[in-house]
Amino acid sequence: MYRRTAARKGRKRAAISVAHTMLRIAYYLLTREEMYVDLGEDYFDKQKQQSIVKYAVRRLENLGYSVTIAEVS
């Protein structure tokens, strides 16, 4: 989260943003009495990858191409 925010808003605001996010998570967990589940270090990277693929497919289809996506093994 820090890297994504720092690129847009700067280092100081990114640090405040990360602290605010941590406080929101703590509040959420304490009020609902749940255990913290880490989404993984590459969670946001995977989300971004999917959005990039969707955007590229949509752009190509708008240009008149037929697109088929297949994962490389």
| Domain range list for the chain | 1-37, 40-73
CA distances from 52 to 10, 11, 47, 57, 67 (A): 24, 26, 9, 9, 14
pLDDT confidence of residue 40? 86
Alpha-carbon radius of gyration of the chain: 18
Contacts of 73 (CB under 8 A, 6+ apart): none
Average pLDDT of 4-9? 90
Q: What is the pLDDT of residues 29-65, one digit of tens each?
A: 999 998 988 888 888 778 888 888 999 999 999 999 9
- pTM (global) more than 0.75: no
Distance CA 59, CA 61 (A): 5
